[in-house]
Structure 1
């Protein structure tokens, strides 16, 4: 299978090359040339598989340039680091409400599902191509830690992660800065995640720099990230009662749109999911888009759910590509207007199967308390946003995106419980090693040039 850019001005690439490239040379995002379609028989065959086997079977439609045995071994290695035997357990809270727990990986966040796999894919590429690779990413909290732990100590790799200094949770910062690994560079910038992401995209647009430093992207602009996240939706859907599978809504806390886009893409591949609710915090560009048809940047307001403190949702471009009938020229026009003005109003906007909800900082603690009092369940601040509202007439599956122990202050204030996890407690004894860098492409290029492999 080949992968093409949403902007239509880059050559099609195979799976491994698209993964290694990350952002397309024309500034667009890679997508499959055609989405595969899963038949009813395919879904029945998937139903008996454990999580690694399901992931392997799903990816066989995409990673066609890696032999079956090799890819199965890469996948198996990726999920041995998860602490729960089901990898992504479903927890029933009520007849019409379940939670899909996605925090049992090594950094206690949903990003581990994709980034453990991506780290092992990078390791495979370094070994087979006899080349080093330098990985660059930006994070609002969880992506950085998961990306770092996916590449921790792997030969032939160096990883550079940008994060907004003082705007991630303290334990999220420690997960990035206390590894002690020589191939990890946590780069603290002044400003917001959007500032980091803007600089990152400028760097990837510099083709000479990208190629000379063998630079690859670890953010959800990388197609492997989104495809890996499709699998936990498929796994959850297969475990639902057969008579409820066609009336389920997944409720997804999201800032950069990659998490919920993965489920939507799976739906477009033939899995009959009823719909998706985009659950935002007070940085609500996606809520405003799906309720008004206007995509407009606002000021980033630091919140109790810091991983969602984003106003420019990168993965929206992939949804846009499908929404305009795969018209790359139209995508270029819309993205150019948005870059120049910070806004775009869609006439007759089709939200497809999406709805949206919004939750501000004043509401998050009360929602955490309500969920705890009603169900005895402890939700982290991001997951709490997904409990803001749900349709009682259909089955709702809330994606629980992070372990509550990563946000102890908020949990303690809301319900008087002090959540802990051994891996996080161990970090408190280690020194923080971070590198202050200006949030400019030039400063970041200079830092990478001095340390790249």
Structure 2
């Protein structure tokens, strides 16, 4: 399996090379030269597999340069009940990503797929735990080290840090928007005292953090000298790890391959739902992929109009589903590449226009950049938007009707999913995080605190270790260099 950039860089790369590299040299994102296909026979066989066994079958289609025995060992070490039963120790939790039917009537079937029982109580653990083990394995083979430079709007940071803490040959430099995460999210990251973890609170919004990660990654001399890698969803390995739980969700919700399912996914950076798109391109019978945004609705706007218009920092809302407070969806480029039929020159031109003019228009109207929006329906995409009052109402609805407490991002997903239900096609909502991570809003909605898993009772009171810095690329490079010794 070989990989190429969405912007045309053609140097042949294998899985291990792009695992450590992050962005392609031309600033594009890596994709396989062609998507491997999943046959009906394979799907039938996979119905009886454990989550770890399924992950191995999927990943070996992409990581063809890693010996299968080694890959199997990594996967089996990653996807265990000990790692993913952080909250519950029952038989259902041991399934790693169990489904729960919330409602089933003439209007359709609504299902919640639990993805947040990992070490940091968020779906990001599903990929990040694997990434940590893949990084350690690959670096050991190459007798190398890696300085991970990433950005988080809330959950990626803690998931990455918990996965990488103590890993040999790895340092983590994680940017987050200063005072724009929940108190729990902030404490989960900043309370880590491991010497290989560096938390940097940036005076700005998430997009400022993400822009600096891309700027550093595009400085090829600095990137090579400082051995920079990334764990954001621009990293292909993280996306392909997420493909696994879409396949698991499909197999768990159906009994035969002539059935279809839809997924609704809370989304800001397009990484999570991009994995669903890839599963669909591989042949998984996915009917619709519904993008659920919050007030930062750049993706909803595109899937309604064909206009991709990024927002400036001052136009990015700070909301009660903060992990989606993103106005420049970096992973979106992978879908646009497929939408344009693999025309890398056009992809490069469109995303240069994003940097210079703030967006592009594929609506087909006079003066637009193309008419490909008409093809979006072929890929199954639809979208919807949820705001603060919707979140409060949906959290209350979920407790009253379903008997569960959900977090704010999952509330965005359920609100939008209910607007897209279809009779005969199960709708799976991907859970984003546990409600304890957003207790301020849970208290506002339900007038009580969210239940906290053991070990997280007083996390906000722990000593915190972080630095505050401006959104300045040169200062950030100097900080990285001063802490690597390279």
What TM-score, normalized to structure 1?
0.98
How many angstroms apart in 2 are the aligned matches of 1:418 and 1:438?
A: 34
What is the CA distance between 1:126 and its match in structure 2?
1.9
- Are residues 1:115 and 2:115 paired? no
Deviation, structure 1 residue 244? 8.6
Q: Would the aligned equivalents of 1:10 and 1:26 in 2 still touch at CA under 8 Å?
A: no
Residue 441 of structure 1 is matched in structure 2 by 473
Does the aligned pair in 2 maintain the 1:203–1:445 contact within 8 Å? yes
- Structure 1 residue 118 displacement after superposition: 0.5
Task: Kindly indicate whether residue 157 of structure 2 is the aligned counterpart of residue 144 of structure 1.
Answer: yes
Q: Kindly tell me: are residues 190 and 10 of structure 1, through their superposed partners in 2, closer, same or farther at Cα, counting changes over 3 Å?
A: farther
- Of residues 433-442 and 325-334 in structure 1, the stretch that sits farther from structure 2 once superposed is 433-442
2:365 is the counterpart of 1:363: no
Q: CA distance change for structure 1 residues 421 and 112 in 2, over 3 Å: closer, same or farther?
A: same
- Alignment partner, residue 224 of structure 1: 237
- The question of 1:315 aligning with 2:331 is answered yes
Q: CA deviation at 1:110?
A: 0.6
Q: Which residue of 2 aligns with 1:336?
A: 352
Residue deviations 1:180-204, cap 9 Å, x none? 1110001000000000111110100
Task: Tell me if structure 2 keeps the 8 A contact 1:249–1:274.
Answer: yes
Q: What's the counterpart of residue 92 of structure 1?
A: 101
1:68 aligned residue: 68
Distance (whole Å) between structure 2 residues aligned to residue 11 and residue 243 of structure 1: 41
Shift of 1:421: 1.9
TM-score by length of 2: 0.91
Change (3 A) 1:426 1:82: farther
Deviations 1:96-116 (A, max 9, x none): 011001101100101001110
Q: Secondary structure at the match of 1:252?
A: strand
Equivalenced residue count is 453
Residue of 375, 388, 391 corresponding to 2:402: 375
**8 Å Cα contact 1:245-1:273 kept in structure 2:** no
Residue of structure 2 equivalent to 1:304: 320
* Alpha-carbon separation, structure 2, partners of 1:444 and 1:396: 43
Which moved further from structure 2: 105-114 or 426-435?
A: 426-435
Matched position secondary structure for 1:344: strand
Shift of 1:243: 5.6
Q: 1:82 aligns with which of 84, 103, 106?
A: 84
Distance 1:292 1:385 in 2: 21
Contact 2:147–2:226 under 8 Å retained in 1: yes
Partner of 1:234: 247
Residue ranges of structure 1 left out of the alignment (5+ in a row): none
Kindly indicate whether residue 216 of structure 2 is the aligned counterpart of residue 184 of structure 1: no
Q: Give the Å deviation of 1:63.
A: 0.6
Distance 1:125 1:89 in 2: 31
Preserved CA contact (<8 Å) 1:406 1:424: no
**Partner SS for 1:355:** strand
1:276 aligns to what SS in structure 2? Answer: strand
Distance, in Å, in 1 between the alignment partners of 2:10 and 2:40 is 35
Matched-pair contact (CA < 8 Å) for 1:78–1:117: yes
Contact map agreement 2:263 2:429 (CA 8 A) in 1: yes
3-state SS of paired residue (2:478): helix
> 3-state DSSP class of the match of 1:85?
helix
Native 8 Å contact 1:171 1:424 kept in 2: no
| 2:217 alignment partner in structure 1 | 204
The unaligned stretches of length 5 or more in structure 2 are 86-92, 365-370
Show the counterpart of 1:326. Answer: 342
How far apart are residue 413 of structure 1 and its match?
Answer: 1.4
The offset of 1:47, in angstroms, is: 1.1
Q: 1:293 aligns with which of 302, 306, 317?
A: 306
In the TM superposition, residue 297 of structure 1 has moved relative to its aligned partner by 1.7
Distance (Å, rounded) in 1 between the aligned partners of 2:301 and 2:218: 29
SS of 1:145's equivalent in the other structure is helix
2:229 partner SS: strand
| CA deviations over 1:222-241 (Å, ceiling 9, x no partner) | 00011000000001111113
Q: Distance in 2 between matches of 1:403 and 1:244?
A: 32
Aligned residue in 2 for 1:391: 421
Match of 2:439 among 391, 400, 408: 408
1:363 partner SS: helix
> Counterparts of 2:467 and 2:353 in 1: how far apart (Å)?
34
For 1:403 and 1:330, locate their aligned partners in 2 and report how far apart those are by CA, in whole Å: 40
Higher mean displacement: 395-404 or 342-351: 342-351
2:148 matched residue in structure 1: 135
Deviations 1:250-297 (A, max 9, x none): 010010001011011101101111111100000000000000111112
| In 1: Cα distance, 2:256 partner to 2:64 partner | 34
Measured in 1, the distance between the counterparts of 2:9 and 2:39 equals 32
**Match 1:278 to one of 263, 286, 291:** 291
Structure 1 residue runs of 4+, over 6 Å off? none
For residues 378 and 342 of structure 1, the distance between their equivalents in structure 2, rounded to whole angstroms, comes to 38
For residues 243 and 11 of structure 1, what CA distance do their matches in structure 2 show? 41
| More off after superposition, 220-229 vs 383-392 | 383-392
